[in-house]
Structures are given as C-alpha cells and as structure tokens.
C-alpha cells in the first residue's frame, strides 16, 4: 500500500507545480519535488493528480431502466419506475458494479448509494451492494432507501380527498432493518459506511425521521434524504406541515453537519439560512433536475450563504449516466444563466473543491478526505493529460471541468489501494460485467405504465396542467 | 463505395427492426431484411444505424483556447479571446482536424465551421481548413466569419457616447474575399460548401449583410449568422435599428429557408413568428449559452411555432468540447425546466431528428441528407450497443441521447465513404494529431486580458451590474 508518484502535475494556489507524492499505508505522507521513492514508483509525467470526487447521490439499481424512462416529471416518473422495477439480487449486484465502474472512470472514488431495497430481502439487498463495492474497492456510503408511506401520498391532494394504501412494512420494522444493517455492515475504516436515509418528507412519517435521528446519534451515522426536488413537494410540505419542509426538518432535528440533502431545488431564502445554520450539505444533481423538469437549484445562493454543496449523478433512470465529470460540468455552468453577474459564477477550481472537499464535509470525513494534503487518506485520481479530449494543453482543470473528457482517468486509488491502472479497473473484470449486463437485458421501446395512466389526471389537475 | 450492412438495428415507427442496408455509389439503395451483399459486407450485429448528425455551428480554431477562458459573458469573453488568439495556418489546420475528429466520434458527419480568418491571410485560412476537412472526409460547410465593425461596437452604448475604431478591412474588400472563396472552394458535390456568414448584427453593417445576400442569390449559397445570443445584443439592436434584430434582418432580406441562425436566445414571440414565416433555422448551442451565461433559448416555443431547430457545439472556447452527443442531450433536457407541461418536452427520437434532418433542412440538403431512406446520400453512423455506457440494453436511442455515451461510434460514412471503422478514424493519424496539439501548446493558468480590463467598467455599467 506504499507508492510514490514521480513528477505529477498538481494544483497549487492559482497555478500548477510538478511534484512527487509519497503514500505510505494509505496515507499521503509527503508532497514535494525530488522525493525518494517509497514503495512502488508511479510515473506521473504529463498527468494531473486530484483528490477523488464524491458521487454523492445515486440509486445504483436504476441503471436497469436507464434510457427507457418516459419524459415525465418526478411524481409520474416514479410511478413508471416502480411499475417496471422487478429487481433481483443478481441485478442489484451488477448495477452496483456498473455504478462503481462509471463513477471511478469519471473521477469519483466515493459513491453514496441511496439503495432501493427488495421488499422482504432488505438485508440481502444491502449485503449484495456492499459485496459489489468491496470487490471494486470504491469507497461506499450505502444509504438504504426507506419510507413508510405509499407512492400516491407523495402527490399533493390539492382540494381533493385522497386515500392512500398503507405502506407494506411498519415503521418500526424498517428501523429494525436499518439497525441490523449498521451492526452487520457499518465499517468506515474498511471503506463501507451505512447512512440513515429516509426517502424524503413526501413519503416518510415523523416517526420514521425520529427513528433515523436516534440511530444516527447512537451509532454516529451520517444522514441522507431527498429534499424539495419538485414544485409538487413544495406544495405537499405546506399541506402536510403548514410550513416549509426545511422548517419542519429543522424542528424535528434531522438537519446537522452530518446531513446531506439531495436536490434542494425549491427552497426559500429563509430555508437557505436554516441549511447554513445547521451546516447541512446540498447534493446538487443538475442532470436529473433537468431531465425530470424539476427546476434549477439555487446553487449560487447556497454558496453565497455559506452552505456546503457537492455533486451527484442521481440514479441512472433520471440522468441517465453515472459520469461524474458531466454532473460537475453541468452543475457548474448551468447557474451562469441564473445570475447576470459573472463574478458569482462557479470556476473550474471551485467545482473541483465542491466535488472533493464538499463531499468529504457532507459525509463527515473532511479531516481524512477531500484534498491533496499530507496526512490525508490517499483517495486519489490521476488524469492523462495527453488524451485528445484534454488537448491542446491549456489549463488542465479548466479542460477537465468544462470540456467533455472521456477515457482520461489513468489511475485511481482508494485508501492507498490502486483500483484503476492504465485506464482500466483492475479489481473486477469489466468485460465480463458488460457481458452480464447485456445478457440480463433486452432492447425495447417505450412501455405503457398502468400506474401513470391511473394517477396522471389527478397530477395534472393539482399541478394546474 | 458500395457496401451492405447486415443485421443492423434501425429505428422504425416507434420501435426498432433488424434490417440490411445496401449502399451503392454513395447512395442508400435498399433497406430491408435479407438483402444480397453488394460490395463489401459490414457486420451490423448489436449495432444501431442512424443518419449522421450536424455540428451546425462551431468555430474550429477556438480549440486552442479551450479550458482556459475566464468565466465571463460573451462581450468580455470575446475581448479575452481576441487578446490571446495569435493564429497561424498550422494551428488552423490542426484545430480543424481536431474539430472534425471530435464531431465524427460523437455522431456528426457534417460540420458548419464559422471560421475565424487570419487578417491578411483570409484565403489561406479557408484553404487550410478545407484541406483539413477533405483529409478527414467529413462533410464541411465552411462559413468564413466576417464583420466590418470593431469589437467595442458590439456592446450597447447605453446613455453614453462611445467611439469605436474603424474595422481594418473595408466592407467591399471582405465581400471580394468571400466571392473569391466561393469560386475556389464551393464544391458541394465533393462535400465542401461555402456559406455567407456575417458575424451578426452586433458587428456588421447593413452593407455587409446586403453583399452577403447578393452572393447567396448569385451562387445559391446558404447563409449563417449569430443571432441575439445575449441580452446586450438585444439592447444593441434597439439602439442600432429601433426594432428587434429579427425584424431588421427580415426587412433587409437576410432570412430565408437557407438561413441558419446560431443561438437565438433573446427573441420575442413576434420574432419567433418571423423565423417560422421565413423558414429560417435555429442552431441551438446549449452548452455555450450556459457557459457564457447567455440564457436558455426558448426551444420549445420554436418547435411549437414550427421553426426548424438543430444543434451545434459552438466553438471550443465557449463549450469547451466538440462532443455533439453532449450538445444534443443538454439541448434536449435543458428545456424541461422551462415548461411544466411534460407533453411539450423533447423526446430522444425528436432530438435525433433535430440533429439529423433538422441540420439537413437548414443547409438546404433535406432532399439528400438527414434520414435513413432509399435514395438519400449515405452519411451514416453506426453505434456499438455493447459499449458499457449503452448497457444494460433498453431503448438504444434513449441511451444514446440521455446517457453519456463514450467510444460508441463504431463506424461512420460520408457520401458512402467509410471514414471511421472499429471506433477509429481511418483517414488521418489521430495519434499524430494528438502529438501535434500537445507540441503546439503549453499548460498554463488564467491570464490577464488587457482589453477586458479596459472595457469591463463600461460593460458593467450598461448591463446594470
């Protein structure tokens, strides 16, 4: 686990320097010119070294429906997703591998998987995803997706009387599954952390949130949830609580420095202040927010208010890729149209910091991860600057963030262990993975979702369409 | 130039079929199951065949500054661009090759190069770009970028008195260059067309537009221009003409069925009606419009008004890539946040039609290009559906448009000539191109542009910043 990268380009201040980087026992122990070689020697010439990024919100099993979901807003899209989501453990395994590989090959060394659970096989689903991530070697934050209300409860009722099916699993049984998951799988020092992760205010009772908070306190777990992804959820919060979702989540104590909140599209200025005061982290999923027509999250306002922001791909049914560099690019430049004053726009260097240190802060690991500094864990990515997509040579970080890099990840290390070398994942057989994904699927075209047909008239009516 | 693709997936109605495709002398002559092999046999198994896309607006030489341009709005960005643009013919050649290669490897078989000319070497610049495109074999529409007013004239004066340097080359001399260009290089049947291409209302006199219209009529040339890319240009048009730019361009006769207009971000509903009535084409450059903070073009309105829309990457200093699939993806999903009614959103199949037939219409070649039909020219792209980024198998066009495909172009043909095979460009040595781009450049960081420093106070004042 010891190695020395010789002559690699690293960002310093507003410029770059060619340095050597020594890693011993998974920790960066020196960054300077002309260092002795400790352990194996890695040639860093014409390469750029950066801290690994965080894919800070995804749902790995959505990979099975990428490319085929209709163009629909979240509430109807979810109905279609659930109508065609017959998961089995083999599929859970393959899509977790696929998510890990695509994340790694686009600069990510950590993934937060808001993991869809197979009903009745909750622990097996989690065990399967954990196994996949351990095989690849990516740092994984597994956040089992839990709720205790049924799908239709997530749509505002408007002036109408709506009846919802009760959710199939009682709240306390769900919390018991999560506690057992923590006992079995929460091993941060081995690169696997469990998060408490209620779906969001739209499908969760206060009792479920309270149970998650209790587990978070008891085991020092990070917290993860969707928050105000759509206009419909903004309406729903008012119906449900008589205040904004953020006000309610603060009141019940869900927001703190260990809390990452996916989407955050429809927040008021007062809500933004609350996120800042509670030191919560926003996970920006720009591509999913566009694809589902959710809106443009007010990221520049978050940054001005001192709210920590990082990036996620979101599940591949709403993006439909796990290319983290794409999410970082679009998540940066998208906001230039929201503020005429270019002095507020996100620069490529700021985007890199959001994607690395921003993720580490949200996952309560900023003391160990997120920057190139002596004493930090070696979660590192080295990019090949001789790739056509990063030429001609100008500003390497500008090219990486604003261009469309492909095949640029030469090497990646997690906790000092090399898991990508010469542009290939070394820990699993990716060709075999491709073959398995091929064999487990069929080409087809749009399908008709019975649930969409059923709930669409109410949705259109309550949204004024 | 004759070949038969066996067993390739092609889109039919709302589904797909596995067919054979015969091409003889550059023309598609049959599409059906179980055809005899004419010419060479191509294996289409597990591949998708689509008409080639159009990269319908770019500036090839901007590749030299990609990745390094500051985060600035168009008017200031242009000042920085011009301060650091010492072009020579070698650079023109290499960046045209690079633009062609990146376009081809992301599904494009045609490129519209709004080509920056080296002052005093205008014809040489054009000859150099033409040579590069002929070597690669991509279909090229070379649109020499001309203007007859100097840079500062492109910024509204507001209430102030502004003096502008006269432009260095007289209007008639510029028009003479273009006419000579047409005589020497306009050979549509050989895959090289010349367009008349005034920069836009912000830097061109009516005399220059009139001269371009005359050349267009005389030689049946298509017309190309930037249009209302920024809020500043909207203001400027009112100052300059006392009406919108579209009203003015219609009045002087620039708009017709051969006219493609890049950007079109700030148009009124009345302007949109004019584009529809004149059968003008909008070239949507979504990434550049985000990067420069220009705004979101009202593409859904254009489509509803029956205006033809196609996609461009724009120059690589404002995007900063030439990945056409990225422009198509973002140019589709971006608009879902502009209209709550998802029934208006662009579907992946519609996006493919915009990128292919939409481009062909705008370039007055819809009778010859833009769809998979018998009798059309064989500008074709075949995608490898076993690539990890297009797996698992769902809807191939959905995966291609909404995913983040990389290395998926297996083969490409222009006018029946194969120029990409097994994922590699066959006509030029791309490794040598990479080496040349590397050798002609240096890594560096942000620079200070003297012109930006000079004009920024006026820009901020007139834009209310």
What letter does residue A354 receive in the DSSP assignment?
Answer: I
Contacts of B171 (CB under 8 A, 6+ apart): B148, B205, B207, B208, B211
Interface contact flag, B406 A402, Cβ < 8 Å: no
Domains of chain B, each with CATH number or no CATH: 3-50+376-425 (2.30.40.10), 53-362 (3.20.20.140)
Task: Using the predicted structure, report yes or no on whether residue A398 has a pLDDT greater than 80.
Answer: yes
Residue B40 sits at the chain A interface (C-beta within 8 Å): no
Question: Which of the four pLDDT bands, split at 50, 70 and 90, describes residue A98?
Answer: very high
Q: What is the pLDDT of residues B197-242, one digit of tens each?
A: 999 999 999 999 999 999 999 999 999 999 999 999 999 999 999 9
CB B303 within 8 A of CB B272: no
pLDDT tens-digit series, residues B381-421: 999 999 999 999 999 999 999 999 999 999 999 999 999 99
Q: How far apart are CA B242 and CA B264, in angstroms?
A: 19
Query: What's the Rg (C-alpha) of chain A?
Result: 22
pLDDT computed for residue A276 by the predictor: 98
Is the model's pLDDT at A225 over the cut of 90?
A: yes
Q: What average pLDDT does range A80-91 have in this prediction?
A: 91
Mean pLDDT of the region B450-463: 95
Q: Give the pLDDT score at B14.
A: 86
Q: Per-residue pLDDT tens for B244-278?
A: 999 999 999 999 999 999 999 999 999 999 999 99
Q: How would residue A86 be classed by pLDDT, with cut points 50, 70 and 90? A: confident
Q: Span B370-382, mean pLDDT?
A: 98
Q: CB distance A336–B391 less than 8 Å?
A: no
Packing angle between helix B206-219 and helix B171-185, nearest 10 degrees?
A: 20
Residue B295 forms contact with A (CB below 8 Å): yes
Contact with chain B for residue A290, Cβ under 8 A: yes
| Spatial CA neighbour of A58 closest among A295, A327, A433 | A327
Pairing of strands A259-263, A223-227: parallel
| A209: nearest Cα among A179, A253, A244 | A253
Q: Count of CB atoms within 10 A of residue A1's CB? A: 15
* Strands B27-32 vs B15-24: parallel, antiparallel or unpaired: antiparallel
B333 interfaces chain A, CB cutoff of 8 Å: yes
Nearest CA-CA partner of B295 in B227, B362, B346: B227
Distance CA A413, CA B169 (A): 56
Q: Which of B129, B74, B138 is nearest to B111 (CA)?
A: B138
Checking ipTM against 0.85, whether it exceeds it is yes
The reply to whether B441 touches chain A by the CB within 8 Å rule is yes
A71, two tokens = 């163009």
Contact B58, B112 (CB under 8 A): yes
| CA gap B121, B411 in Å, rounded | 36
pLDDT at B280: 98
The answer to whether A67 contacts B402, with C-beta atoms less than 8 Å apart, is: yes
Q: State the Cα–Cα distance between residues B244 and B250, nearest whole angstrom.
A: 10
Residues in Cβ contact with B134 at an 8 Å cutoff, skipping those fewer than 6 apart: B140, B190, B191, B192
- Alpha helix locations (H) across A29-105? 74-83, 89-104
pLDDT of the residue at B163: 86
Structure tokens belonging to residue B226: 């930037």
Q: What pLDDT does residue B160 have?
A: 84
Q: Is A431 on the interface with B (CB under 8 A)?
A: no
Among candidates A128, A151, A157, A143, which has minimal Cα distance to A312?
Answer: A143
- Does A72 sit within 8 Å of B441, measured CB to CB? no
Q: Do A446 and B395 touch (CB under 8 A)?
A: yes
The one-character DSSP state at B266 is S
Contact B337 A294 (CB under 8 A): yes
Instruction: Give chain B's length.
Output: 465
Write out chain B residues lying below 8 Å of A406, CB-based: 323, 406-407
Chain A residue numbers touching B442 (CB-CB < 8 A): 393
Q: Are residues B128 and B92 in contact, defined by beta-carbon separation less than 8 angstroms?
A: yes
Whole-angstrom Cα distance, residue A410 to residue B110? 32
Chain A residue nearest residue B333, CA to CA: A291
**Which residue from B minimizes the CA distance to A398?**
B67
Q: How far apart are CA A257 and CA A223, in angstroms?
A: 9
User: Is the CB of A391 less than 8 angstroms away from the CB of B98?
Assistant: yes
B392 upstream amide cis, omega within 30 of 0: yes
Q: Count the neighbouring beta carbons within 10 Å of the beta carbon of residue A161.
A: 5
pLDDT of residue A35: 97
Q: How far apart are CA B168 and CA B150, in angstroms?
A: 8
Say if residue A444's pLDDT is above 90. no
**pLDDT at residue B372 in the model:** 98
The pLDDT confidence band at residue B30, using thresholds 50, 70 and 90, is: very high
Report the pLDDT value the prediction gives residue A128, as an integer from 0 to 100: 98
CA–CA–CA angle A47, A52, A54 (5° rounding): 145
Distances (CA, A) of B335 to A246, A292, B328, B342: 27, 10, 12, 10
**Partner A contacted by B17 (CB < 8 A):** no
Q: Which chain A positions have a beta carbon within 8 Å of B431's beta carbon?
A: none
Measured CA distances, B68 to A228, A303, B443 (Å): 35, 23, 10
Nearest to A193 by CA among A120, A148, A258: A258
CA B322/CA A425 separation, integer angstroms = 27
Report pLDDT for B162.
83
Mean of all residue pLDDT scores within chain A: 97
A356 interfaces chain B, CB cutoff of 8 Å: no
pLDDT band at B168 (very low <50, low <70, confident <90, very high): very high
User: In terms of residues, how long is chain A?
Assistant: 465
Q: For residues A158 and A462, is the Cβ–Cβ distance under 8 A?
A: yes
Per the DSSP assignment, residues forming a β-bridge with A84 are none
pLDDT at A1: 74
Strands (E), B318-427: 380-384, 409-414, 417-421, 424-425
Give the span between the Cα atoms of B14 and A71, in whole angstroms. 15
Long-range Cβ contact pairs of B455-461 (< 8 A, separation 24 or more) = B455/B75, B455/B76, B455/B79, B455/B152, B455/B155, B456/B76, B458/B155, B458/B160, B458/B162, B459/B73, B459/B75, B459/B76, B459/B155, B459/B232, B461/B158, B461/B160
The residues with which B11 forms a beta bridge, in sequence order, are B16
Give the residue among A73, A152, A150, A70 at the shortest CA–CA distance from A448.
A70
**Contact A291/B402, CB-based, under 8 Å?**
yes
Q: What is the DSSP secondary structure assignment for residue B255, as one 8-state letter? A: -
Structure token pair of residue A132: 């996949």
Q: What percent of chain B lies above the pLDDT cut of 90?
A: 95
pLDDT value at A310 more than 90: yes
> Is residue A423 within 8 angstroms of chain B, CB to CB?
no
Between β-strands B409-414 and B380-384, what pairing exists: parallel, antiparallel or unpaired? antiparallel
Mutate to test the interface with A, among B18, B60, B71 (most CBs of A within 10 A): B71
Instruction: Say whether residue B395 is in contact with chain A using an 8 A CB cutoff.
Output: yes
CA dihedral B13, B15, B16, B21 (to 10 degrees): 0
Mean pLDDT throughout B50-67? 98
Closest-CA residue in chain B for A102? B389
pLDDT (average), residues B73-91: 93
* C-alpha distances out from residue B450 to A47, B153, B165, Å: 31, 17, 17
pLDDT surpassing 80 at residue A445 = no
Are B287 and B313 within 8 A, CB to CB? Answer: yes
The continuous run of DSSP H or E covering A58 comes out as: strand A53-58
């Amino acid at each position: 686990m010891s190695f020395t990268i010789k002559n690699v380009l690293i960002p310093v201040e507003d410029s770059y320097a060619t340095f050597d980087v020594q890693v011993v026992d998974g920790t960066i122990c020196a960054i300077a010119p002309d260092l002795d070689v400790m352990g194996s020697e890695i040639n860093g010439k014409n390469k750029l070294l950066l801290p690994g990024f965080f894919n800070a919100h995804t749902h790995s099993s959505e990979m099975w429906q990428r490319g085929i979901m209709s163009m629909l807003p979240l509430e109807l899209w979810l109905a279609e997703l659930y109508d065609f989501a017959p998961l089995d453990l083999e599929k859970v395994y393959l899509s977790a591998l696929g998510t890990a590989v695509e994340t790694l090959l686009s600069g990510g060394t950590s993934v937060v998987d808001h993991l869809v659970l197979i009903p009745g096989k909750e622990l097996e689903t989690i065990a399967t995803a954990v196994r996949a991530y351990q095989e690849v070697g990516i740092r994984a934050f597994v956040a089992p997706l839990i709720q205790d209300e049924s799908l239709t409860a997530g749509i505002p009722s408007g002036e109408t009387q709506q009846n919802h099916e009760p959710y199939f699993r009682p709240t306390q049984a769900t919390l018991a599954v999560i506690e057992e998951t923590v006992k079995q799988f929460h091993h941060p020092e081995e690169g696997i952390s469990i998060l408490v992760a209620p779906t969001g205010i739209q499908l969760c009772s206060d009792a479920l949130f309270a149970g998650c908070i209790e587990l978070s306190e008891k085991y020092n777990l990070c917290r993860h949830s969707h928050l105000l992804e759509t206009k419909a959820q903004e309406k729903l919060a008012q119906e449900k609580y008589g205040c904004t979702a953020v006000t309610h989540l603060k009141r019940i104590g869900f927001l703190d420095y260990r809390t990452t909140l996916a989407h955050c599209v429809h927040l008021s200025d007062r809500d933004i202040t609350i996120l800042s005061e509670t030191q919560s982290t926003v996970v920006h999923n720009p591509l999913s927010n566009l694809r589902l027509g959710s809106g443009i999250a007010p990221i520049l306002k978050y940054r001005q208010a001192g709210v920590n922001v990082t990036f996620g791909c979101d599940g591949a049914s709403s993006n439909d890729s796990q290319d983290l560099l794409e999410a970082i690019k679009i998540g940066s430049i998208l906001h230039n149209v929201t503020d005429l004053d270019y002095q507020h726009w996100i620069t490529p260097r700021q985007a890199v910091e959001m994607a690395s240190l921003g993720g580490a802060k949200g996952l309560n690991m900023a003391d160990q991860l997120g920057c190139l500094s002596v004493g930090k864990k070696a979660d590192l990515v080295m990019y090949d600057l001789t790739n056509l997509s990063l030429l001609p040579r100008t500003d390497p970080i500008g090219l990486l963030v604003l261009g469309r890099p492909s095949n640029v990840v030469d090497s990646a290390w997690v906790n000092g262990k090399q898991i990508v070398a010469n542009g290939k994942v070394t820990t699993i057989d990716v060709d075999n993975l491709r073959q398995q994904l091929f064999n487990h699927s069929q080409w087809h075209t749009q399908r008709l979702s019975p649930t969409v047909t059923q709930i669409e008239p109410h949705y259109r009516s309550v949204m004024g369409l």
